[in-house]
């Protein structure tokens, strides 16, 4: 009887020892070296620009991506396809207004990774994206190579109560309509 108890105890201790070898690494994002570009589409064309990352971290478990979280400085949104004095300031102001991101009230957006599938640097990532105080899940592909990661994320702005110019909510917009989805192209360094 004592032998069985000792064997069972040994197996439990051995199992706990192996479980403790799971190593979780936290890798801080180098925000000054990382970039986020955005592109919004409308019937008559598109606009694009950049937005700054305030902070971010990726979590790795035994060299596999397992989680992470990011904070985006919404007030840093800028337009790169227009020149100063030729509509750049007007569009940036409109994007920061309540019609779009309301940056005076909602200064940051966040993304928290909730699920990761994949190996070999190719991952399908699901996360909770919060914009304007509203949180919705997003799923995207992320590639990780050495100390960098890239992702292309499509965001449906109407899920975050950004309805300005959306043909889904307003009739008669014709060529003034702005598409509901915009793109975020992310390049991270860590």
Domain residues for 116? 23-189
Residue 7 lies in a domain: no
DSSP annotation string for 83-139: -TTTTHHHHHHHHHSTTTT-TTT--EEEEEEEEEEEETTEEEEEEEEEETTEEEEEE
**DSSP class of 158:** G
Confidence (pLDDT) at 62:
87
**Alpha helix (H) residue ranges in 20-153:** 88-96
**Residue 21: pLDDT band by 50, 70, 90 thresholds?**
low
Any idea what the CATH number is for the domain that residue 133 is in?
2.40.128.110
Residues 14 and 93: their CA atoms lie apart, in Å, by 61
Q: Which pLDDT score, from 0 to 100, does residue 26 have? A: 96
Residue 101 lies in a domain: yes
Residue 97 lies in a domain: yes
Residue 133 lies in a domain: yes
Residue 45 in any domain: the answer is: yes
Domains in the chain, number: 1
Q: Which two tokens stand for residue 12?
A: 């439990």
- pLDDT, tens digit (0-9, with 9 covering 90-100), for 34-89: 999 999 999 999 999 999 999 999 999 988 999 999 999 999 999 999 999 999 99
Domain membership of residue 117 (yes or no) is: yes
Number of Cβ within 10 Å of residue 15's Cβ equals 10
Does residue 157 fall inside a structural domain? yes
Q: What is the pTM of this model?
A: 0.86
97-147: pLDDT as tens digits: 999 999 999 999 999 999 999 988 999 999 999 999 999 999 999 999 999
Answer whether residue 4 is part of any domain: no
């Amino acid at each position: 009887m004592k032998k069985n108890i000792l064997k069972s105890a040994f197996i439990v201790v051995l199992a706990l020892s192996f479980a403790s070898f799971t190593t979780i690494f936290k890798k801080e994002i180098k925000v000054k070296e990382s970039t986020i570009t955005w592109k919004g589409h409308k019937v008559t064309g598109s606009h694009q620009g950049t937005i700054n990352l305030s902070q971010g971290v990726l979590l790795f478990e035994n060299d596999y991506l397992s989680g992470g979280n990011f904070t985006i400085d919404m007030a840093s949104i800028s337009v790169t396809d227009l020149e100063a004095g030729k509509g750049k300031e007007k569009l940036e102001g409109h994007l920061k207004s309540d019609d779009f991101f309301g940056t005076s009230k909602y200064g940051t957006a966040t993304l928290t990774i909730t699920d990761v599938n994949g190996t070999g640097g190719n991952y399908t990532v699901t996360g909770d994206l919060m914009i304007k105080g509203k949180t919705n899940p997003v799923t995207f592909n992320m590639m990780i190579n050495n100390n960098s990661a890239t992702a292309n994320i499509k965001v449906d702005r109407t899920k975050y109560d950004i309805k300005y110019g959306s043909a889904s909510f307003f009739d008669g917009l014709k060529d003034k309509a702005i598409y509901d989805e915009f793109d975020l192209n992310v390049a991270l360094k860590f």
